[in-house]
Structure 1
Amino acid sequence: MTHTPVALVTGASSGIGEACARQLAAAGYRVYGTSRRADSQSSGTFTLLSLDVTDEQSVDAVIKEVIAREGRIDLLINNAGFGIAPAAAEESSIQQAWALFDTNFMGIVRMTCAVVPHMRRQGSGRIINIGSILGVIAMPYVALYAASKHAVEGYSEALDHELRTQGIRVSVIEPAYTKTAFDTHTIAPDRPLAEYSTVRASVTQTIRQAMNIADTPDDVAQVVVRVAQTGRPKIRYTAGKAAAQLAFLRRFAPSRVLDKGVRKNLQLDQVRKS
Structure 2
Amino acid sequence: MNRHLKKTAIVTGASTGIGHATAEALASAGFTVFGTSRRPNGTAPDRVSMLPCDVTDEESVTSLVATVLGQVGRIDLLVNNAGLGLVGGAEESSIDQVMALFDVNLFGAMRVTNAVLPAMRRQADGRILNMSSVLGLIPGPYSAHYSATKHALEGYSESLDHEVRAFGIRVSLIEPAFTRGAFDQNGLKPDATLDEYDRARADAHALLADVMPKGDLPEGVADTVVQAATAASPRRRYTSGKLAWQISLLRRLAPAGIFDKSLRKQLRLPA
1:165-187 CA-partner distances (Å, limit 9, x unpaired):
11000000000010015423211
Q: Provide the residue aligned with 2:56 in structure 1.
A: 54
Paired positions, count: 269
Alpha-carbon distance in 2 for matches of 1:152, 1:129: 8
Q: CA deviation at 1:33?
A: 0.2
Q: Which amino acid aligns with 2:240?
A: A
2:174 touches 2:238 (CA, 8 Å); kept in 1?
yes
After superposition, the Cα gap between the structure-2 partners of 1:48 and 1:89, relative to the gap in structure 1 and judged at 3 Å, is: same
Q: CA deviation at 1:42?
A: 6.2
Q: Provide the residue aligned with 2:155 in structure 1.
A: 154
Q: Provide the residue aligned with 1:63 in structure 2.
A: 65
Q: Provide the residue aligned with 1:37 in structure 2.
A: 39
- The aligned runs of 1:49-198 (5 Å cut-off) are 49-84=51-86, 86-198=87-199
Q: Which amino acid aligns with 2:83?
A: G
1:56-103 CA-partner distances (Å, limit 9, x unpaired):
00000000000000000000000000111x211000000100000000
Alpha-carbon distance in 2 for matches of 1:241, 1:202: 25
Q: Provide the residue aligned with 1:214 in structure 2.
A: 215
2:24 touches 2:45 (CA, 8 Å); kept in 1?
no
Q: Provide the residue aligned with 1:20 in structure 2.
A: 22
1:168-208 CA-partner distances (Å, limit 9, x unpaired):
00000000010015423211100100001111111221222
The secondary structure found in structure 2 opposite 1:37 is coil
The worse-fitting range, judged by mean Cα deviation, of 261-270 and 171-180 is 261-270
2:5 touches 2:32 (CA, 8 Å); kept in 1?
no
Q: Which amino acid aligns with 2:252?
A: R
Alpha-carbon distance in 1 for matches of 2:127, 2:106: 18
Q: Which amino acid aligns with 2:118?
A: P
Alpha-carbon distance in 1 for matches of 2:88, 2:63: 36
Unaligned runs of 5+ in 1: none
Unaligned runs of 5+ in 2: none
After superposition, the Cα gap between the structure-2 partners of 1:207 and 1:44, relative to the gap in structure 1 and judged at 3 Å, is: closer
1:15 touches 1:182 (CA, 8 Å); kept in 2?
no
Alpha-carbon distance in 2 for matches of 1:207, 1:42: 27
Alpha-carbon distance in 2 for matches of 1:252, 1:170: 25
Q: Which amino acid aligns with 2:261?
A: K
Alpha-carbon distance in 1 for matches of 2:18, 2:140: 21
Tell me the TM-score normalised to structure 1 length. Answer: 0.95
1:32-66 CA-partner distances (Å, limit 9, x unpaired):
00000116x96541100000000000000000000
The secondary structure found in structure 2 opposite 1:183 is coil
1:82 touches 1:185 (CA, 8 Å); kept in 2?
yes
- The aligned runs of 1:220-235 (5 Å cut-off) are 220-235=221-236
After superposition, the Cα gap between the structure-2 partners of 1:261 and 1:50, relative to the gap in structure 1 and judged at 3 Å, is: same
Runs of 4 or more above 6 Å deviation: none
Tell me the TM-score normalised to structure 2 length. Answer: 0.96
Q: Which amino acid aligns with 1:57?
A: E
The worse-fitting range, judged by mean Cα deviation, of 245-254 and 259-268 is 259-268
